[in-house]
Amino acid sequence: GAGVSQSPRYKVAKRGQDVALRCDPISGHVSLFWYQQALGQGPEFLTYFQNEAQLDKSGLPSDRFFAERPEGSVSTLKIQRTQQEDSAVYLCASSLGDPQPQHFGDGTRLSIL
């Protein structure tokens, strides 16, 4: 299918390790978003790209979180020196523009031991 693809689907890491989460948006989608979803909660905004430009990173919880989208397509969310509180589902979404609906990937379930 031509949906948003995220990898890996599941990631287990030890506290202190670095992790990288990948998002392949729908082809041609200009806008890309990262959200964090805790169990039983709604997604919370992390960061927003328009093409390769990161226009909003106000939701990133700390400077351990870093996102990039160097060619305006694939995006990577990196978490350095992971902590247990980073355990969550990380969702990526893309849209043609705004206010077009955001289309979500299945997410990466991150567990920090």
Binding another protein by CB under 8 A: which of 1, 28, 70, 101?
101
With b meaning 16 or more CB within 10 Å and e meaning fewer, what string describes 43-77?
Answer: beebbbbeeeebeeeeebeeeebbbebeeebebeb
CB nearer to another protein: pick between 3 and 61: 3
Q: Cβ contacts of residue 70 below 8 Å, gap of 6+?
A: 52
The 26-55 contact track toward another protein, x by CB under 8 A, reads: -----x-x-x----xxxxxx--x------x
CB nearer to another protein: pick between 17 and 106: 106
User: Residues 23, 82: contact at Cβ < 8 Å?
Assistant: no
Give the residues lining the site for another protein (CB under 8 A).
3-4, 31, 33, 35, 40-45, 48, 55-56, 58-59, 91, 95, 98-99, 101-107
